[in-house]
Amino acid sequence: MKDAVLSIRDLTVEIPTRHGILRPVDGVSYDIAPGEVLGVVGESGAGKSMAGNAVIGLLSPPAHIASGEIVVNGQRIDHLTGEAMRRLRGKEIGMVFQDPLTSLNPLLRIGDQLTETMLAHLDITRTEAEERAVAALAEVGIPGAAERVGSYPHEFSGGMRQRVVIALALCAEPSLIIADEPTTALDVSVQAQIIALLKRLCRDRGTAVMLITHDMGVIAEAADRVAVMYAGRLAELGPVREVLMQPHHPYTAGLMGSTPLASRGKDRLHQIPGAMPRLDSLPEGCAFHPRCPRAAARCSSAPGPLISDGDGRAACWFPLDRAGVA
Ligand SMILES: Nc1ncnc2c1ncn2[C@@H]1O[C@H](COP(=O)(O)OP(=O)(O)OP(=O)(O)O)[C@@H](O)[C@H]1O
């Protein structure tokens, strides 16, 4: 993709263990354009968070990037560590995690957190930063922003706190946001508002978003394109409408079937049988084949080849046809 904010190429994350080397992310490639939301979806343990943590340099040892490239705005960052990576986080890359309290300092007023973040990364005066802090809170929908800059994180509700985190993630004008399950801890009624807010602010600013979620509903709501992960690999990638309406990979179709989207008939609401394999006992060939209704002999001998279709691709020996019928 030309002028991508984020390019991941053949990224592999490894964890050495007593039982051998595990690969929670295995040869994954995708790009995210300015203002685009890429949804990264898959069941628990698929490697979604590991891929996000690799980009922001927050892999917990012994997990490490074993091969591949991560490029942000043309700068290769996969080898950065320590202070260089810290500078990049906050300035080039903002983060929104599931629990707002992991991003907010409980001992600091939120106005001060916003101001200090801006002063660390932007060439502006303290007075300007303080004014921008009030504006940033108002923009994310905090009522009485001029007074609320003086509040501490615990004085906000969960939904309001996540709005503050979004303001904090965006205040240094990063070009990329990594949002890992940003609404999973919130009431259902608040989830859609927070997702809509994140999407609108990032689109208006041209900020690219990697939106990590296990929730196909969130993907349908917010993503422009979607990357479906299974056991560390990319099963399918493409524009969200095409992937959701006409999935090529049987796993994507199964995920859709287990999501109660209003537009789909009741007969689609079946669960995928079985569970995703553990990384230390991956089956040979395509890791999905033991659960796949279309599996044949060759699926257990080699991973599915990458098939391309327009802007999309899927790794499958027997992809679904355009009508999405298994
Ligand atoms: N230190 C470790 N040793 C062994 N395996 C690990 C270790 N850390 C993570 N894993 C495994 O790496 C895989 C990927 O984890 P990851 O958190 O990226 O999944 P995920 O798709 O984000 O799932 P979730 O939605 O539950 O967060 C999981 O199978 C997990 O068990």
**What residue's CA is closest to ligand 1, atom 26?**
44
Question: Per-residue confidence at 304, pLDDT binned at 50, 70, 90?
Answer: very high
Q: For 41-80, what is each residue's pLDDT tens digit?
A: 999 999 999 999 999 999 999 999 999 999 999 999 999 9
Q: What is the distance in A from the centroid of ligand 1 to the CA of 275?
A: 15
What pLDDT shows up at residue 102? 82
For ligand 1, mutation pick of 41, 49, 60, 102 (most atoms within 8 Å of CB): 49
Ligand 1 pocket, 247 CB below 6 A?
A: no
| Average pLDDT rounded to a whole number, residues 134-162 | 95
Measured from the CB, is residue 45 less than 6 Å from ligand 1? yes
| DSSP, residue by residue, 14-80 | EEEETTEEEEEEEEEEEEE-TT-EEEEE-STTSSHHHHHHHHTT-PPTT-EEEEEEEEETTEE-TT-
Residue 263 has pLDDT above 70, yes or no: no
Whether the CA torsion 63, 68, 74, 79 is positive or negative: it is positive
Confidence (pLDDT) at 259: 58
Query: Ligand 1: which atom is nearest the Cα of residue 276?
Result: 29
pLDDT at 188: 87
Nearest atom, ligand 1, residue 278 CA: 29
- The per-residue pLDDT for 87 is 87
Q: Is the Cβ atom of 287 under 6 angstroms away from ligand 1?
A: no
User: Looking at the predicted structure, is the pLDDT value of residue 261 above 90?
Assistant: no
Q: Name the residue with tokens 């259902």.
A: 188
Minimum CA distance residue for ligand 1 atom 8: 63
pLDDT at 100: 83
Mean pLDDT calculated for residue range 210-220: 94
Q: Which of 17, 19, 48, 255 to mutate to test the pocket of ligand 1 (most atoms within 8 A of CB)?
A: 48
pLDDT of residue 310: 82
Q: Which ligand 1 atom sits closest to the C-alpha of 229?
A: 21
Find the mean pLDDT for residues 33-43: 96
Non-local CB neighbours of 279 within 8 Å, separated by 6+ positions: 15, 22, 23, 24, 45, 231, 232
| Domain extent listing, the chain | 224-326
Residue 233 Cβ contacting ligand 1 at under 6 Å: no
Provide the CB-side half-sphere exposure for 160 (13 A, CA). 16
pLDDT of residue 258: 63
The predicted pLDDT at position 270 comes to: 52
* Mean pLDDT, residues 292-317 taken together: 92
Provide mean pLDDT across the span 102-124.
95
What pLDDT, in 10s, does the model give residues 219-244? 999 999 999 999 999 999 999 999 99
Beta bridge partner(s), residue 39: 211, 226
CA distance 221 to 102: 25
Taking the complete model, does pTM exceed 0.90, yes or no?
Answer: yes
Ligand 1 atom closest to Cα of residue 63: 1
Tell how far the Cα of 228 is from the centroid of ligand 1, in angstroms: 16
| Predicted complex ipTM exceeds 0.90 | yes
Question: Which residue's CA lies nearest to atom 28 of ligand 1?
Answer: 45
Q: What single letter denotes the amino acid at residue 222?
A: A
Q: What percent of the chain has pLDDT over 70?
A: 94
> What is the rounded CA–CA span in Å between residue 102 and residue 9?
29
Ligand 1 centroid to Cα of residue 132, in Å, is: 38
Lowest-confidence pick of 221-235, 254-268, 284-298: 254-268
pLDDT band, very low/low/confident/very high, at 101 (cuts 50, 70, 90): confident
Give the span between the Cα atoms of 284 and 234, in whole angstroms. 16
From atom 19 of ligand 1, which residue's Cα is the shortest distance away? 45
Beta-carbon contacts of residue 58 (< 8 Å; ≥ 6 apart): none
> How far, in Å, CA of 158 to CA of 322, rounded?
42
